Structure 1
Amino acid sequence: MQPSWDNDTLDYPQQKGPGYDYTGFEKDQQVRADAIVDMFRFAWDGYYKYAFPNDDLEPVTNTFQNSRNGWGCQAVDALSTAIIMELEDIVNVIVDFIPTIDFSKTNTPQPSVVSLFETNIRYLGGLLSAYDLLKGPFSHLRVNSTNVDALLSQARNLADALKFAFNTRTGIPVNDLFLSNHSFSGRGLQQDGQRTAGLAELGTLQLEWQRLSDLTGDPEYGTLVQEAAKYWFSPSPPESEPFPGLTGGNFSVDTGRILDQYGGWTSGNDSAYEYLIKMYVYDPERYANYSERFILAADSGMRYLASSPSTRPDLTMIGSFAGTAVQNYSEQLACFSGGSYILGSAALDRPDYLEFGLKLSEFCANGYRYAAAGIGPIIYSWNTTELAWPQFVNQSDLYNKAGWFIDDNRAFGNGMAPEAVESWYYAFQVTGNSYWRDVAWAYTLAQNRTERANSGFSSVNNVLTVTGGGTSNFMASYMLAEVLKYQFMIQSPKKGIWEPVHDGVNQFVYNTEAHPIRVAAKQPT
């Protein structure tokens, strides 16, 4: 029997000291997994009825918008999850649609700016993942084989449409593009005429573009992204790397120099650090240099950036940095870091990474535990100087109990964020401790209680209220691509080779949008 999603009868955890009371939680893993499939179908049905083949569902008003080029982002992003859930009807709708997409132009009333980063992780990653899954462990699904082959050809068409982004002096790509005339937008163009790129923008392409090269036999795609990464691996000037492996996040496209000393495992930088260990997992023979860079960054994170709130010394989180000054500040986006350390522990045989990764995962679990909505905030601060400011002093009680508060009055909402449940998934998979399943299940229940918005899910406005303070009117594609995939896999009693570690062997690695990519590493015979 699936749990009821009726808000009045929802079995939701009560806060008791530092932990949840899980009494009464449905412990049957198949029931939990089936309930998450039900969530996916509900979200898909709303999108398909009111938005397909546009990008985004606006669930409150049953309307749509096109925030990602008008190519059906929600559908392409949802495909790998539908495959893993073995929902053949949905898989066929999407696979039949993908060959019709024209990636040479945006499908919007006016030519729109295309983000290389967002398009890469959602569309290119989604296409390659679906191809790898349908040609591999899910080849038994009844899907038109011609359309499966089209997934790869369309991935190549998309990369060909985007690759002019690398036509710069250094080969560092420009992120914001106009496809219609192969020009760059004005974003990142400074007053002195120097164009810049963010660390995540140049460092979160390698997995997808290298996979495309390996599948097609054309080295161009991998070469482009590997050349761009060199400027991060050999940072200049020296002061732009205040801690070994940790650099500023703003690069000159013209010179390759790093223009600041601000960064950390936070927005604008996060997924570049994530891809260091994932490229090594993808192929440890070719990409040992990525593991070397990951070790530097991970060791520095533990040595220099880790800190504990004054009221909760049992908690540990990585702060951000400004030069060599560490900031007692982090973000929901940084909650992926626990998973990266845990994956690094398995790939590099580093037990200390596992211990540290579990601490980071618990910090974010604690964030969800003490937010009244059961959903963690966008921002975490444990800066007691700021806490004394008049606008934040009303959160003193929260800080005393939880060890964090929100130091930005614009940041009380949360957009269905996937990063924490991603780390909980890695934590469960490596340790087998059902605690992480229960933590993730609590998030599932909270989402159904607060984020269901007419025909889909939408972000809440205030995580410090039990109701979530109402919702916005936008269902992000990562709800289907990431959140529900990780929630399903952590709860499912079934195991599969799509997992990052299966029987001690890596056969798939996830891109930052949770699309499983078949590794190129040699498999044991």
Structure 2
Amino acid sequence: MLVLRRKHFFPLGLGLIVLFLVYNLTVQDSQSQFWSGSLAGLRHGGAKGPNHQIDPKVLDDETYFWRQVPTHYPVQAMKPLPSGTPQKLPKIQASFGKEDSRDRQIRLGRRGAVKNAFKRCWKAYSEHAWLQDEVTPITGSSRNTFGGWGATLVDSLDTLWIMGMEDEFEQAVSAAANISFEKSALTEINAFETTIRYLGGFLAAYDLSGDERLLLKAREVGDMLYVAFDTPNRMPITRWDIGRAARGEPQEASRWALVAEIGSLCMEFTRLSFITGNPKWFDATERIMLALKDQQMKTKLPGMWPISVNPQDMKFTEDNGFGLGAMADSVFEYLPKMVALSGGSLPHYEKMYKAAMKTAQKYNLFRPMTPDNADILISGNVRVDKEKGRLNARLEHQGQHLVCFAGGMFAVGGKLLNIPDHLQTARKLVDGCIWTYKNMPLGIMPEVFWMAPCESEEDCPWDEKKWQEAVLEKAGESKDDLSKAAGVIAQRRLPEGFTEIPDGRYILRPEAIESVFIMYRATGDPELLESAWAMFESIQRATQTDLANSAVADVTVASPIDVQQTDSMESFWLGETLKYFYLIFSEPELISLDEFVFNTEAHPFRRLVP
């Protein structure tokens, strides 16, 4: 797995250097009044109370290291924060009725089991890898893969708060307050991962607790990351040589980047600007998003952006690969979430989302042929090639565990923007992920798989011969000799419906339970609770170690006894996966989707509301 939360198939690319921009901007009076008024009306959780005030000293420390690095390419015209009153947007959450005592007892028992799993893992991290990025869940050692700044600690802050682990939260905040972001254990850091894990983690924990120490750390990380934008065209360097940046050496953006890495910074940067009233972070990412907007209908698959882009030349149309999955995912995920975060005050995000999903629904989604004729959808990748002078969009019938987030995205967009067919699409995508979990031997979805597509989405009867032919074709065998099919299926351990499983790992990913959780909150369907519990039990059986939980090498093996654990537990297991499992078995009012919006690392930010 790459040092990327969601893009784990691409080798690490170019490490480039960056510097910082010192800019102390005074916000226009009208905007200051709007944002301070809006923020004063937001209710912070915990003992800080509803009207917690921000100490200006937290925001105005000009002596901080990253504010002292010289600026080579200062902003000439700062984009202001939006003004006006946030809109009253449609509710995302369903109306939940009264819960009977038996259902409540079952739900609380399940929530308790999830919390116990988290506590075991937190204990392992605290005892064996404190202030390191990750604990190794089998050997009890540690590793640093995300800057060496305590990724698991920061990623877990809001989970600790949500689970009511007050003593552990205070201990973690006290430790996090002393993390230095002036240097890194790594030569090259990933700006995207640093943004979603560290900046997102601090912002969410601050939004929940109101603890100013967390806002200080968010500001420090924000100031550090802002240096990555000090390039001739203000496009960021995504794979960043932090040492050269700290020395003040000039830098420029790469000619190659993953679209998710450049286009998935806006939620965190905008939220930091909203809280502080300083528009510099909003300005930094809004430039990217407006450039993406301007080129959205000029790509080879108009409406969607390709997986790789060219930030240095600001060319976002040249690649021919398109998908909602790895390396592109969160650029699309953030479109409806920015509508929620900003209270609808940035209308171009709604337009971008609608255009992107219109294309994705047409080209990227397919119904797979299954033995039970399940009415489900899978999201695949599209390659656009020239054929006799015309562009031809070719769908690859590949599924990914990572792309399970798309069900939640369609659910948020469908409810928030009142698009009923998006909610229907969301349910079929969520059911596709649930189906894939249920139909694997361990009850866990693999990292990457292929399936045979239906000829029609409306009627798709199971055809054993067609499935065997598709299996042979993926294996590079002649589909005319069906006698070989049984051997290929047995050798590759393919359940019915699957044609290839090129990556059978489960790396403790959150995306499936993420979308099941969002769909449950959006519909109130109790069947989703049963699906979530089945997923949790299956994951626990296969991944639990003496210390914590471990990623596994292959979920196609016959039973948990045959599982090979890989001694890896990324921070998102505590920051995302267990958080979503805990929340789906909690009261719907806990982190309501009508009050909060999650970033791609499951960190809840407070929405602007009227």
Same fold? TM cut 0.5:
yes
Residue 268 (1) aligns with residue 268 (2): no
Q: CA deviation at 1:304?
A: 2.3
* Counterpart in the other structure of 1:404: 498
Residue 464 (1) aligns with residue 527 (2): no
Partner secondary structure for residue 500 of structure 2: coil
Are the counterparts in 2 of residues 79 and 130 from structure 1 also a CA contact under 8 Å? yes
Question: Distance in 1 between the 2:197 and 2:207 partners?
Answer: 15
* Counterpart in the other structure of 1:486: 580
Question: Distance in 2 between the 1:130 and 1:313 partners?
Answer: 40
Is the alpha carbon distance of 1:234 and 1:395 closer, same or farther for their aligned partners in structure 2, counting shifts above 3 Å? farther
Are the counterparts in 1 of residues 440 and 495 from structure 2 also a CA contact under 8 Å? no
Residue 58 (1) aligns with residue 136 (2): yes
* Counterpart in the other structure of 2:231: 168
Q: Which runs of 5+ in 1 are unaligned?
A: 1-24, 136-147, 501-505
Q: CA deviation at 1:112?
A: 2.4
Q: CA deviation at 1:477?
A: 0.4
* Counterpart in the other structure of 2:110: 32
Q: Deviations over 1:348-390 (max 9, x none)?
A: 1111111110000011101110111111011121256762144
Question: Distance in 2 between the 1:194 and 1:449 partners?
Answer: 44
Partner secondary structure for residue 470 of structure 1: coil
Residue 512 (1) aligns with residue 581 (2): no
Are the counterparts in 1 of residues 134 and 569 from structure 2 also a CA contact under 8 Å? yes
Q: CA deviation at 1:316?
A: 1.6
Residue 245 (1) aligns with residue 328 (2): no
* Counterpart in the other structure of 1:453: 545
* Counterpart in the other structure of 1:316: 377
Are the counterparts in 1 of residues 296 and 305 from structure 2 also a CA contact under 8 Å? no
Amino acid of the residue matched to residue 316 of structure 1?
L
State how many pairs are aligned. Answer: 466
* Counterpart in the other structure of 2:195: 120
Q: Deviations over 1:464-520 (max 9, x none)?
A: 12216221011110000111110011112x2325221xxxxx211000000000112
Amino acid of the residue matched to residue 130 of structure 2?
F
Is the alpha carbon distance of 1:395 and 1:266 closer, same or farther for their aligned partners in structure 2, counting shifts above 3 Å? farther
Q: CA deviation at 1:287?
A: 1.8
* Counterpart in the other structure of 1:209: 269
Deviates more, 1:379-388 or 1:54-63: 379-388
Question: Distance in 2 between the 1:26 and 1:390 partners?
Answer: 49
Amino acid of the residue matched to residue 504 of structure 2?
F
Question: Distance in 2 between the 1:67 and 1:322 partners?
Answer: 32
Question: Distance in 1 between the 2:235 and 2:208 partners?
Answer: 31
Give the TM-score normalised by the residue count of structure 2. 0.73
Partner secondary structure for residue 182 of structure 1: helix
Alpha-carbon RMSD = 2.3
Q: How does 1:63-462 map to 2 (within 5 A)?
A: 63-106=141-184, 108=185, 111-135=186-210, 148-182=211-245, 195-235=255-295, 238=298, 240-242=299-301, 244-258=302-316, 259-311=318-370, 312=373, 314-323=375-384, 324-383=393-452, 387-388=471-472, 389-390=474-475, 396=489, 402-408=496-502, 411-462=503-554
Is the alpha carbon distance of 1:396 and 1:316 closer, same or farther for their aligned partners in structure 2, counting shifts above 3 Å? farther
Question: Distance in 2 between the 1:39 and 1:400 partners?
Answer: 31
Is the alpha carbon distance of 1:60 and 1:227 closer, same or farther for their aligned partners in structure 2, counting shifts above 3 Å? same
* Counterpart in the other structure of 2:97: none
Give the TM-score normalised by the residue count of structure 1. 0.84
Q: Deviations over 1:443-475 (max 9, x none)?
A: 111122110122111111111122162210111
Rg larger for: 2
Question: Distance in 2 between the 1:26 and 1:469 partners?
Answer: 34
Partner secondary structure for residue 381 of structure 1: strand
Q: CA deviation at 1:395?
A: 6.1
Amino acid of the residue matched to residue 404 of structure 1?
F
Question: Distance in 2 between the 1:215 and 1:508 partners?
Answer: 14
Q: Which runs of 5+ in 2 are unaligned?
A: 1-102, 385-392, 453-466, 478-484
Amino acid of the residue matched to residue 318 of structure 1?
S
